[in-house]
Amino acid sequence: MDSTVGAPREIAVPVSVFGSLREELSKEAGTLPAVHALHSAGYHAGTTAATTLVGASGNGAGIAQDAFWARVSEFFQTRGWGEIRHEPVHGAIGFLTSSDWAESNPDEVDPDASCFFSTGFLSGLLSALAGGPVAVLEIGCRTRGEKHCRFAFGSETAIHRLYGQLLDGVGLAEALDAL
């Protein structure tokens, strides 16, 4: 653990680390425990990364919305995660969308694959910046053969309701209308 004050220390690793971690954790612990482990590790990394994004306060309050989302996009793009853009689609739900997200692997299409670490990371980052819980649900993934990775975010209640609707087979537009 680094005991210095200021921004957390960062390292660069190849993007292949995501697939390797997912594969090895699934092999050793099973699919669901691997998902939980990657999500939890991502969440903790995201809460730590908040200070890198906005400074020592780790709080995004006081930053204008357009400037905030531009900063978030730059944060991910300069670190090799990919370009991500914010879409305000509903009063209770926003989307973050990327056509080149690092954790996804469109060369190995898998209907069950997903960006588990990223979902946790985004939840931790947004929760720390908001000063309260922000839930994140991946609703699209390039690894599943889709054009974009897309993450819905909002309150835990809104995300759980959205997820429930999607599990019931309701289309995304209809699920958002039902919120």
* Domain count across the chain: 1
State which amino acid sits at residue 35.
V
CATH code where residue 62 lies: 3.30.1380.20
Q: pLDDT digits over 33-68, tens only?
A: 999 999 999 999 999 998 888 765 556 667 788 888
| pLDDT for the residue numbered 154 | 96
**158 CB-near residues (< 8 Å, 6+ apart):** 92, 93, 135, 179
If you average pLDDT over residues 27-31, what whole number do you get?
93
| pLDDT for the residue numbered 59 | 63
Does this model's pTM top 0.75? My answer is: yes
Q: pLDDT digits over 104-154, tens only?
A: 988 877 877 689 999 999 999 999 988 899 999 999 999 988 999 999 999
Per DSSP, the residues of 116-159 read HHHHHHHHHHHHHHHTS--EEEEEE-GGGT-S-EEEEEE-HHHH
Let me know if residue 174 belongs to a domain. Answer: yes
For residues 71 and 138, give the distance between their C-alpha atoms in angstroms, rounded to a whole number: 21
| pLDDT for the residue numbered 53 | 81
% pLDDT > 90, the chain: 63
Helix, strand, or coil (residue 172) = helix
Return the beta strands (E) in 28-131 as ranges.
Answer: 85-88, 93-98
**Greater pLDDT, 68 or 97:** 97
Let me know if residue 108 belongs to a domain. Answer: yes
| pLDDT for the residue numbered 10 | 86
Contact 140, 126 (CB under 8 A): no
| pLDDT for the residue numbered 1 | 47
Let me know if residue 16 belongs to a domain. Answer: no
Let me know if residue 23 belongs to a domain. Answer: no
Which domain, by its residues, includes 56? 42-178
